[in-house]
Amino acid sequence: MQSLKKYPFLMMFYTHFRRLLTIISPKLNTIVTFRISKGKAIDLKNPKTLDEKISWLKLNTYNKDPLISKYSDKYAVREYVSFCGLGETLNDLYGVYDRVEDINWEDLPDKFVLKWNNGCGLNIFCYDKKTFDIENAVKTLKKWEKAKKYLGNAEMHYKQIPPKIVCEKFIEAKNSLLPEDYKFLCFNGRAEYCMVCTERETGNTKFYYCDREWNLVRMHKEHRNIPSDFHIPKPQGLDKMLQYADTLSKPFPFVRVDLYNVEGKIIFGELTFTPFGGINSSMIEEMDLMLGNMLKL
């Protein structure tokens, strides 16, 4: 997969190929994509690894569970967060729109974030409205609207989400940098590990994993060469973040709870039920199996 990114035409062909496979059969997409990405066949009859079990869930459970679709909705999930008593973690909401044409750009503040509620990575950051290219933003939002992103990884629960554009407060850390993103891997209502995303503003995000005691855990293939004395700074209020992740994940056998932490202020991001579409080719195989043992179907 990494080699394909060097060749835009091949990457575009592969993207369309996967979308076509989903139209034919979501299961066929999963089988073929898993083989190409991980170099081995997926076992859907007796899944053992985390990726296999997430793939099984998305094909057999999530595709027909309206609650999974609702909680995957970046707008509708706010109701669930409030229901859990964590309304104070919700980011400020500037507007929700059914169409791009409904956005009143003049009413928006100098900084904001626009996102479609029914996919991954569909975000536009406005750092300064004075220099913000509204025309290009409109084109991008309309392009994403037609993209049907759920087809890429056969994540059919996203198909059931009524599409909306959400405009929220721009979350920034010191020196106007994007804050670290803390993605908690939760099993049976307990956050066991956290994937920390740093240097997001560079476009070359770094990913690290820590356990509940904030010890570094080498899960990514590139982590094998990390020096033994390397560590990730422990965030302020980690105990509270763990508590929030535990609370939000309680009803689910597995979910990833995404949170931001800006100088101790915890802000809810989203719930993700199928990280990497159930096909994380960067995960060390032993770790994939270890996490899979924690997920009880």
What is the CATH classification number for the domain harbouring 217? 3.30.470
Indicate the helix (H) or strand (E) that contains 77. helix 77-83
Domain assignment present for residue 50? The answer is: yes
Domain assignment present for residue 69? The answer is: yes
How confident is the model over 113-161, as pLDDT tens digits?
A: 999 999 888 899 999 999 999 999 999 999 999 888 899 999 999 999 9
Domain assignment present for residue 139? The answer is: no
CB 193 within 8 A of CB 187: no
List, in order, residues 6 or more apart from 144 with CB less than 8 Å away: 116, 119, 122
**What is the token pair recorded at 255?**
């979910």
What is the number of domains present in the chain?
A: 1
Strand, coil or helix: 76: coil
How confident is the model over 5-25, as pLDDT tens digits?
A: 666 777 788 888 999 999 999
Domain assignment present for residue 131? The answer is: no
Domain assignment present for residue 135? The answer is: no
Q: CA 59 → CA 29, 81, 135, distances in Å?
A: 11, 26, 38
Q: In angstroms, rounded to a whole number, what is the distance separating the alpha carbons of residues 7 and 268?
A: 36
Q: In angstroms, rounded to a whole number, what is the distance separating the alpha carbons of residues 236 and 257?
A: 17
Cite the beta strand spans of the chain per DSSP E: 93-97, 112-116, 123-126, 165-168, 181-187, 190-198, 206-211, 216-217, 254-262, 265-272
Domain residues for 60? 43-90+176-297
How confident is the model over 67-112, as pLDDT tens digits?
A: 999 999 999 999 999 999 999 999 999 999 999 999 999 999 999 9
Question: Does the pLDDT of residue 2 top 60, yes or no?
Answer: no
Question: Does the pLDDT of residue 175 top 80, yes or no?
Answer: no
List, in order, residues 6 or more apart from 45 with CB less than 8 Å away: none
**What is the token pair recorded at 189?**
């209502």
Domain assignment present for residue 83? The answer is: yes
Question: Does the pLDDT of residue 201 top 90, yes or no?
Answer: no
CB 272 within 8 A of CB 256: yes
Domain assignment present for residue 127? The answer is: no
Does 289 or 15 have the greater pLDDT score? 289
Domain assignment present for residue 155? The answer is: no
Q: CA 141 → CA 96, 101, 118, 138, distances in Å?
A: 14, 10, 12, 5
Strand, coil or helix: 226: coil
List, in order, residues 6 or more apart from 148 with CB less than 8 Å away: 19, 159
- pTM of this prediction? 0.92
User: What integer pLDDT is reported at residue 139 of this predicted model?
Assistant: 96
User: What integer pLDDT is reported at residue 23 of this predicted model?
Assistant: 95
Measured N-to-C along each axis, helices 50-60 and 26-38 cross at an angle, to the nearest 10 degrees, of 170
Q: In angstroms, rounded to a whole number, what is the distance separating the alpha carbons of residues 59 and 29?
A: 11
